[in-house]
């Protein structure tokens, strides 16, 4: 009996970080980001209100536009304009998915495009990429630095995002 309890305790301790990482992840279920209207079986634009209601309709937009400050949504019961504070998320019939988030360089909620969602989320807004682990959002930064080597001027790429990705992905696998 003691052996069984020890085995169960060891298995629990080994599995605990996995469940913790899953609970803290930014993973978005397919039922949330899916753009298929279950009533019609067709791909459609949609919004998800702050109370979690998913409504299908049409979002007014230009082709392949990713920088939304507001969403003009038209459904069978009429149209409305929504700001990031008024929606949890919205999606387009072309598969693009956006969520309302507060980015590190902003004090207000913004519509952020979700490029990838798993244990971590890869987000995009205004030419910048962000990684979201469910607890914090960090910008993936890179820049160039002019240096002189042996009297020659050169440009060196500083990739700060590499260390952020290493640290974040190690935390997610522990």
* Ordered per-residue pLDDT tens for the chain, 174 residues: 334 334 333 333 343 343 333 333 456 777 777 878 877 888 899 999 999 999 999 999 877 778 899 999 998 888 899 999 999 999 998 889 999 999 998 899 999 999 988 888 889 998 888 988 888 888 887 778 888 888 889 887 776 666 666 666 655 555
- 3-class DSSP state for residue 72? strand
- Rounded CA-CA distance 137/131 in Å is 6
- Determine the pLDDT at residue 45: 92
Domain holding 167, by residue range, is 2-173
pLDDT of 174: 53
pTM higher than 0.85: no
What is the distance between the alpha carbons of residues 135 and 116, in angstroms, rounded to a whole number?
16
Report whether 113 contacts 121 (CB < 8 A): no
pLDDT value at residue 148 = 85
**Bridge partners (DSSP) listed for residue 121:** 117, 132
32: nearest Cα among 81, 90, 116: 90
Rounded Cα distance between 137 and 147, Å, is 31
Number of domains in the chain: 1
* H helices present in 25-159, as ranges: 30-33
**pLDDT value of residue 71:** 94
What pLDDT is attached to residue 80? 92
pLDDT of residue 17: 40
């Amino acid at each position: 009996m003691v052996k069984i309890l020890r085995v169960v305790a060891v298995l629990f301790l080994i599995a605990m970080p996995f469940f913790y990482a899953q609970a803290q992840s930014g993973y978005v279920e397919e039922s949330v980001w899916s753009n298929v209207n279950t009533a019609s079986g067709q791909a459609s634009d949609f919004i998800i209100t702050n109370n979690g209601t998913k409504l299908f309709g049409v979002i007014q937009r230009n082709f392949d536009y990713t920088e939304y400050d507001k969403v003009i949504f038209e459904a069978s019961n009429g149209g409305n304009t929504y700001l990031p504070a008024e929606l949890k998320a919205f999606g387009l019939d072309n598969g693009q998915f956006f969520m309302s988030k507060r980015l590190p360089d902003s004090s207000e909620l913004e519509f952020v495009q979700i490029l990838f969602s798993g244990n971590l989320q890869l987000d995009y807004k205004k030419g910048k990429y962000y990684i979201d682990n469910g607890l914090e959002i960090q910008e993936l930064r890179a820049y160039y630095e002019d240096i002189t080597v042996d009297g020659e001027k050169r440009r060196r790429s500083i990739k700060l995002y590499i260390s952020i990705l290493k640290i974040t992905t190690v935390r997610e696998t522990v």
